[in-house]
Amino acid sequence: MELLETEIYLRYKQIIESQTAYSLTCHPGLVPGSPFHREKESVQPRHVHMADLLDHYDVFCFDGYGTLYNRDRFVYPGAMEWFLSLRRAGKTLRLVTNAASDVDGVLARAAEKRGFDFSTEETISSGSLLQNLVEQLRSGIVKNAAGTVDRIVSGTAALYRSAKQLELREVYYIGRETGKNVLAACGITAVAMDAEPAEPIVAISSAKDTPETYARAVKILQKPGAVLLVLNSDAWAPKVPDENGVTVREPVSGALSERLRRDSMCEANGGEGCATYYLGKPFPQIWECVKASFPVGSRVLMIGDTLGTDVYGAKIAGFDSALVVGRNVPATELDADEAALGIRPDYYLEP
């Protein structure tokens, strides 16, 4: 991993584990009494195929980009076979994605065009969580997943705290044009790129910044009481493999948001920086929505390509996890990345 990527995912862990309801660690064997404790820390996750897992789980949750598909209509080898085998077996499926480029119905149709027929009801995105957060910010009371108000110092805002009441009718937005549909569903307008919103609020859904938009976002976020809404918490993501099968990874919205958060710290806000709210994996709120969508007691497996969001998030949810190696976690960096983050899946899933 890049240094910034490691720092971002460690920050996410610190934020989540500061909430007492989510104080577990996810590396097997590190904490006696953990529900994920193993007798020997040296026990490695098993390399498995989907057929090995079929009878052990009722619900299979999939990450989208980097796990099943990528931009345009690229589908990863083995992904369609996984999906069809689970459909034939009558398993419950969920698409759990940090994509905030449009509303859930559109994301589901985009997946269907690639051959994955997820319904809107089976699709749970980070963008779909914005409505609830907006309602809380407008009320002036932001609650954590346990339903209680945490009083946390400014600048660590995904720890959720008592907040200044906001009107939240417009924001400065950086992301794909279609992401404005997510804002519109919450009654929010994106101001022009050379303008500033009535309140100092910036929303990020993807890394579509320019030097000009970045500078304006920093200017807004350096104002007292500024708020940064991170609609997609992914820090790095894999591009479509090239003609030689080589995957290149690139920083995305989570990395852009972290740079903005750091650059927002200035004398005007006492060096604390903007209040930052994160949506999506690995944070608890998305898992509460996922769990509410199927029967209590279901045996659940989360399948993804990222240690810091998919695997760690699954442990926060109480799900088992399977990591697809070689996309967002290069095989040559796997051991080092697991050690750096203290995160390890239950399985490595092979195509």
pLDDT at 161: 42
* Shared-domain flag, residues 133 and 116: no
* Shared-domain flag, residues 260 and 311: no
* Shared-domain flag, residues 174 and 265: yes
Give the Cβ contact number of residue 55 at 10 Å: 8
Q: How far apart (Å, rounded) are the C-alpha atoms in residues 71 and 248? A: 13
* Shared-domain flag, residues 37 and 170: no
pLDDT at 29: 34
pLDDT at 155: 35
* Shared-domain flag, residues 154 and 33: no
Q: Please write down the HEC assignment for all residues of the chain.
A: CCHHHHHHHHHHHHHHHCCHHHCCCCCCCCCCCCCCCCCCCCCCCEEECHHHHHHHCCEEEECCECCCECCCCCECCCHHHHHHHHHHCCCEEEEEECCCCCCHHHHHHHHHHCCCCCCCCCEEEHHHHHHHHHHHHHHCECECCCCCECCCCCCCHHHCCECCCCCCCEEEEECCHHHHHHHHCCCCEECCCCCCCCCCEEEECCCCCCHHHHHHHHHHHCCCCCEEEECCCCCEEECCCCCCCCCCEEECHHHHHHHHHHHCCCHHHCCCCCEEEECCCCCHHHHHHHHCCCCCCCCEEEEECCHHHHHHHHHHHCCEEEECCCCCCCHHHHHHHHHHHCCCCCEEECC
Residues paired with residue 60 on neighbouring β-strands, in sequence order: 93, 301
DSSP β-ladder status, 227-230 and 170-174: unpaired
* Shared-domain flag, residues 72 and 141: no
Segments forming the whole domain that contains residue 36: 3-125+286-349
Domain end, chosen from 278, 303, 326, is at: 278
pTM attached to this predicted model:
0.90
pLDDT at 19: 74
pLDDT at 18: 84
The dihedral region occupied by 296, where left means phi > 0, alpha psi between -120 and 50, and beta the remainder, is beta
Residues paired with residue 351 on neighbouring β-strands, in sequence order: none
pLDDT at 157: 41
* Shared-domain flag, residues 64 and 149: no
* Shared-domain flag, residues 116 and 226: no
* Shared-domain flag, residues 159 and 97: no
* Shared-domain flag, residues 324 and 256: no
* Shared-domain flag, residues 11 and 86: yes
Domain end, chosen from 237, 252, 278, is at: 278
pLDDT at 143: 65
- Look up the CATH number of the domain holding residue 162: 3.40.50.1000
Asked if 306 and 104 touch (Cβ cutoff 8 Å), the reply is no
Domain end, chosen from 254, 278, 302, is at: 278
Q: How many domains does the chain have?
A: 2
The low-confidence residues of the chain, meaning pLDDT below 50, are 23-42, 145-162
* Shared-domain flag, residues 290 and 274: no
- Residue 138 Cα distances to 112, 162, 187, 205, 230, angstroms: 35, 12, 12, 20, 17
Residues paired with residue 227 on neighbouring β-strands, in sequence order: 201, 275
